[in-house]
Amino acid sequence: MTAIIVDDEGLSVQRLHRLLAESDEIGVCHTFLDPKEAYSFARENRVDVAFLDISMPEVDGMTLSSQLQALDESIRLVFVTGYSEYAVQAFDVRAVDYLLKPVTAARLNRTLDRIVRWNSVNQDTDHDAAPAVETRLFDGLTISIRGQGPQPIKLRSPKTEELFAYLVCKGTVSRDEVVETLWSGLEPVKAWKNLNSTLYYIRKTIDKDESNRIIQTGKSEIRVDAGGMFCDLYEFDSLMKQIRLYPEPHENLLRQAEALYEGRLLAGKSYEWSEGIAHKAERDYIEVMEKLARRCLTQDRPTESLAYFNRILALDNAREDIHYAAIRLYSQLGCKQEALKQYRVIKELLRKNHGIGPDPKIEAFMAQMS
């Protein structure tokens, strides 16, 4: 792999460069004291992994990480710093790892092993065998077709987009249900005419191959051929089924599910029919986050575990058990002010919503901490 190190402290750069040179995973390593020079290099050259100091003048590591990801989402990010309070922020931008200075060879090897595993999980599939159509429903709606460039394709109208999204989410659905859901305010004849014309525009844009149509229509129902396209929701649901087969699912399965969920299903679309589907996917994602958080706890990775708990609370702030876990981790990491802040949040939520106080075990822990 090709790596870059970006740090304004020369001695730190030299130490990390030496450790990486001694590893078997890094072939070439470029070093930069100036983040702007690192960014310019990444624009013109391949970079597999970036080791970034967080606290740098002018352009800090967090800003640089966003710039690098905008160039190439496949660049793996590792933050290296002397300040543990940045840990949660680092994992919030989905860094592969977070290293505290001074970095040891043993700890760095764990990071490199993790990068290798991630690359194995997310390596590209055989493009020749990949479905021609790719539909992504998380964090919006995007449809792309291989061979037509990187830009997503646009369907004819907002209603055409909604019908396509509805069919993809439902899989198989009766024509009557489609009409009742999407054209309930129209008289039946006009509603059925709108359904047929909208289906025509979808197939004109997406189903150009007459021998392998994704949208398959019958007299009374419409079906989506799930095998004819890639859909992030389908992949996510499949992973959730695999995850629930085992009491302790493999971390690779959890990581894959985590990576697929890029935001709320059909975010930005005001489709009433999608609320239940979106809520289910969000609950599944929270389940994945909690499993990853608990796994990190058992593997002595408290900062990463805390980051996952905080992601859960960003979606479901009423989870008293997750607040308690976060409080304990903040305390363990020496961040007592953050622990106190977390305690005040759950205390106020419980008072406002239920008129009660926190669980006695939380009160006892706070008393012991003080």
| Percent of the chain topping pLDDT 70 | 91
- In the chain, where the domains are located: 2-122, 126-277
pLDDT at 83 over 90: no
Residue 226 pLDDT > 90: no
Q: What is the pLDDT of residues 65-78, one digit of tens each?
A: 888 988 888 899 99
Burial readout 129-147 (b: 16 or more C-beta within 10 A, e: otherwise): eebbbbbbbbeebebbbee
pLDDT at 144: 86
Peptide bond into 102 cis (omega under 30): yes
Q: Please determine whether the domains at 2-122 and 126-277 fall in the same fold group of CATH.
A: no
Is residue 91 predicted with pLDDT exceeding 70? no
**Which pLDDT band holds residue 101 (cuts at 50, 70, 90)?**
confident
Question: Options 1.10.10.10, 3.30.70.1290, 1.20.1300.10, 1.20.1050.10; which CATH number does 126-277 get?
Answer: 1.10.10.10
Mean pLDDT of 148-176: 88
Residue keyed to tokens 């499949």: 238
pLDDT at 60: 81
Q: Cα-flanking dihedrals φ and ψ of residue 221, to 5°?
A: -140, 165
Mean predicted lDDT score pLDDT of the chain: 87
Containing H/E element for 149?
none
| DSSP annotation of 250 | -
How far does CA 164 lie from the centroid of its chain?
A: 24
Class of domain 2-122: alpha beta
> Per residue in 143-153, pLDDT tens?
987 655 556 88
> Cβ(93)–Cβ(99) under 8 Å?
no
* Stretch 64-92: mean pLDDT: 74
User: CA 140, CA 142: separation in Å to the nearest integer?
Assistant: 7
Phi then psi for residue 276, to 5 deg, are -65, -40
pLDDT at 169: 96
